[in-house]
Copies of this chain bind each other. A is one copy, B any other.
């Protein structure tokens, strides 16, 4: 006997590149699993940076799975959403109309069936859309860090109904960091400190340096392995880690912004993108940093410690940068590109709660987003 459908979750997805595309695939492939749990995810709209595909009748239908599968294939091949024209029952809108159509869906569904607006894009541009959606009673799920790391007022607005927002995949991809911190806070156990290595790239770099390799050599290898952004300075500058740290700090109730975080860059401003090309940085600039880094690694080692690029969130402030840590701590033991987070609280005082694992990748990030969507299902229960 099939399980009766208990919850129907209408979803509009913003951003269907890497993570968004994997999310759609996971939604389609999980249909039987979710049906067993009485849950149905109805994808009513999908937007990329220029267009929106939306179901003909957002109240009752969704984009069908064949179309979603074709959409994933098209995006994977680098084609725009508009290339799908004529392949199924839907409406296609181009910007700027697309944006207003998302608002229409949010207005219509937000206060009736409910709507989950999922942001898998990588821009700040979705913030105003999501703030409007919150006003219309919609739920929000983000893999995109930027809306949560802009103005504090935007963060405050987005989390104003805390049960209607999830953002696990903004920190450590699918690793249950946000969910665990949220549980600890809800149980009245005050979190006093979070320390984490939240960049797979910098985790890899620091553990290779420990083995005596040269900084320039390690960064180049990391780039050739696809661990870094096209310009490795995007990783080495620490801003991505700082965004994750800011999200964690705000989750702990700190009313701070990026300006309040001390971020140590692993390259000096003279070698910044405004002064030196990416090619020159890799071919000559990087080599100048080897000696300084080698000295720091050796100094740490002489004290029985290792260097890690970490974020530290405490009540006194929030830092991102290199830190000497005991070799036998969870962070000190870290090898390769795994993320690791240590959470200290009353219950985890002398020995922290540690969460470790792969903290990047489209598949894992999309899995975290889907778990977040499923976690909202009680808000979408069908009334008998």
Contacts and interface: CB of A to CB of B under 8 A. Distances in A.
Interface of A: 6, 26, 29-30, 33, 37, 162-163, 168, 174-176, 179-180, 183-184, 186-189, 328, 330, 333, 335-336, 338, 346-348, 351-358, 361, 363-364, 367-368, 370-371, 374-375, 377-379
Given A188-B30, A368-B187, A347 B358 contact: yes
B347 A37 contact: no
Question: When A and B form their complex, which 9 residue pairs have the shortest distance between CB atoms, in order from nearest?
Answer: A378-B378, A30-B188, A353-B357, A187-B367, A183-B371, A186-B374, A187-B371, A354-B356, A187-B370
29 contacts: A26-B187, A26-B188, A37-B186, A163-B377, A174-B184, A174-B187, A174-B347, A175-B353, A176-B176, A176-B180, A176-B353, A179-B183, A180-B180, A183-B368, A183-B371, A186-B371, A186-B374, A187-B374, A189-B367, A333-B333, A336-B351, A338-B351, A346-B363, A347-B358, A347-B363, A348-B364, A353-B358, A354-B354, A378-B379
Contacts of A346: 363
A205 to B, nearest CB: 17
A377 B375 CA distance: 12
Contacts of A348: 357-358, 364
A183 B33 contact: no
A357 B371 CA distance: 23
Given A347-B363, A357-B348, A183 B188 contact: no
Contact of A163 (B176, B188, B355, B378): B378
A183 B375 contact: yes
Nearest to A25: B188
A333 B331 CA distance: 13
A228 B174 CA distance: 36
Contacts of A347: 174, 358, 361, 363-364, 367
B356 A188 contact: no
Contacts of A368: 183, 187
Given A6-B163, A187-B367, 7 more contacts: A174-B347, A176-B179, A179-B183, A187-B368, A328-B335, A330-B356, A355-B355
A20 B120 CA distance: 42
Contact of A356 (B37, B186, B353, B358): B353
Contacts of A37: 162, 186
Contacts of A6: 163
B179 A370 contact: no
A184 B348 CA distance: 24
A43 to B, nearest CB: 15
A374 B163 CA distance: 11
Nearest to A380: B378
Nearest to A381: B379
A377 to B, nearest CB: 7
Of the candidates A352, A356, A370, the one having the most CB atoms from chain B within 10 angstroms of its own CB is A356
Contacts of A183: 168, 176, 179, 368, 371, 374-375
A292 B15 CA distance: 61
A379 to B, nearest CB: 5
Contacts of A353: 175-176, 355-358
Contact of A370 (B163, B188, B356, B357): B188
Nearest to A190: B33
A355 B189 CA distance: 18
Nearest to A337: B351
